[in-house]
Amino acid sequence: MMIKEENNKSFDWVYSVLGLVCGIATAAVISGSFLWSLFGGVLGLIMGAVFLGSIVKGRKY
């Protein structure tokens, strides 16, 4: 008899890192300025948190 082992590892940090990297890359390509890249990183973190809180948390596995 096989016992199903549950995955207790949390990968929530991945959405924050992806949001940060994509936000910085998008702002850097569009504006070319370091300050706008930081602002894009902050917006990316916010969007990652919104995605995680609204879409991912509601999923049933």
Place of tokens 């995955």: 7
Mean pLDDT of 4-23: 78
CA distance 11 to 34: 29
Does the pLDDT value for residue 49 go beyond 80? yes
Domain residues of the chain, as ranges? 13-56
Mean pLDDT of 36-54: 88
**Listed residue (25, 20, 27) closest to 41, CA to CA:** 20
CA distance 32 to 54: 31
Confirm if 21 and 31 have CB atoms less than 8 A apart. no
pTM of this structure: 0.70
